[in-house]
Amino acid sequence: MMVCSCSRPLQRTDALGAVVTGGDAGQAVAERAGQSAPASESVTSGGQASAVAMAPAAAILARAEKTLPYPDRADFDRLDAVLKLLSERAREAMPLTTSNRAEFLTDLQQVLEEEKSFRTDDLSLYYLIDKKHNVGVDYVPKDLVHLEKNELFDINKNNLSLRPEAYKALCHMAQASLKDGVRLLVSSTYRSYEYQTWLFQHWVDVDGLEEAERESARAGTSQHQLGVAVDFGSVSDDFADTVMGQWVYAHSEDFGWSLSFPQGYEDVTGFRWESWHFRYIGRPACDFQRKWFSDVQQFMIEFLDTWKNS
Ligand SMILES: [Zn+2]
């Protein structure tokens, strides 16, 4: 007889009358029958499961997640550490539960893999820029593409330009909108540090400092300086209700464009609702933002920044 080292050996008699023991029982029977049996299965004498305490559902789900090759234990620990660094409002916006954290980490991995395909001689398309994170007076995106008058979309001035990735995505989006009978109007794109300095002061002169801070960025803190932001249409609240605005809302994320300053998040983004302002971050990041961050770009970009620095 084989000797089993477990504390409660199970015994059964196999089909040929030999007594087999413990976790090897099923294997022994199967081998005599010319089959292979799952090594982890035990068989009791009555064919019933032994009476052991049931593992709670949450524990078993958490254990199931950790059996995957990715993410590994360190990723779960890193996620816990990063979440603690986020604002309470950001955490509340994330629909994380015990059972979906591995799915979140897998999606995160895809977004970070996508980032590896970005050009490495310029800032990441996920670069965090806001009232607390800036770029210098000398930062100019590489290879800015000048926007000419064209058949796909309208431009409202002749000095517009975008980073190549954003330009390409804009053209694809405009092509799709045209098919739906909507011709996009591009009103503002890349802005230099010097121009943003002038523009911010202009709005201070018009509206006063307090109002200017709500809808105009100080130089060095504007997504426009990154060359990846576009202001569409009228650049006013009524844009949201126009046919163009409705189309852009419905389809922009399919082309990698994300609304930067949504309604009701001024305390998060630092800016009041800007229905016309979109930033190019790529399709995978848009999907990630919608699925895990209540579709709020600021939460997602802050998360990515915190993750990378953790
Ligand atoms: Zn803008």
Instruction: Please check whether residue 41 lies inside any domain of the structure.
Output: yes
The tens digit of pLDDT for each residue in 144-187 reads 999 999 999 999 999 999 999 999 999 999 999 999 999 999 99
Q: How far, in Å, from the CA of 184 to the mean position of ligand 1? A: 15
Which pTM was predicted?
Answer: 0.78
- CA–centroid distance, 37 to ligand 1, in Å, is 64
In the reported structure, the alpha carbon of residue 281 is separated from the centroid of ligand 1 by a whole-number distance in angstroms of 15
Give the three-class secondary structure for 134.
Answer: coil
Q: How far is the CA of 224 from the centre of ligand 1 (A)?
A: 6
**Number of domains into which the chain is organized:** 1
Has residue 129 been placed in a domain? yes
Sequential pLDDT tens for the chain (310 residues): 443 444 333 333 333 333 333 333 334 333 334 444 444 444 444 445 556 788 899 888 777 766 666 788 899 999 999 999 999 999 999 999 989 999 999 999 999 999 999 999 999 999 999 999 999 999 999 999 999 999 999 999 999 999 999 999 999 999 999 999 999 999 999 999 999 999 999 999 999 999 999 989 999 999 999 999 999 999 999 999 999 999 999 999 999 999 999 999 999 999 999 999 999 999 999 999 999 999 999 999 999 999 999 9
DSSP state of 43: -
Give the CATH number for residue 227: 3.30.1380.10
User: CA–CA distance from 123 to each of 167, 173, 223, 258 (Å)?
Assistant: 16, 23, 12, 18
| 81 Cα to the center of ligand 1, angstroms | 33
Amino acid at 309: N
Residue 161 token pair? 């330009």
Q: Is residue 72 part of a domain?
A: yes
CB atoms within 10 A of CB 45: 11
Per the domain annotation, does 283 fall within a domain? yes
Give yes or no for a contact between 65 and 57, defined as CB atoms under 8 angstroms apart.
Answer: no
Write out the residue range of the structural domain in which residue 296 sits.
11-308
Is residue 136 a part of any domain in this protein?
A: yes
Give the Cα separation of 134 and 126 in Å (integer).
13
Q: How far apart are CA 275 and CA 263, in angstroms?
A: 8
- Specify the amino acid at residue 202: H
Question: Ligand 1 center to residue 280 CA distance, Å?
Answer: 12
Distance 231 CA to ligand 1 centre (A): 5
With respect to residue 6, please indicate whether it lies within any of the assigned structural domains: no
CA distance 125 to 226: 9
User: Residue 4 domain-assigned?
Assistant: no
- Residues 21 and 14: their CA atoms lie apart, in Å, by 10
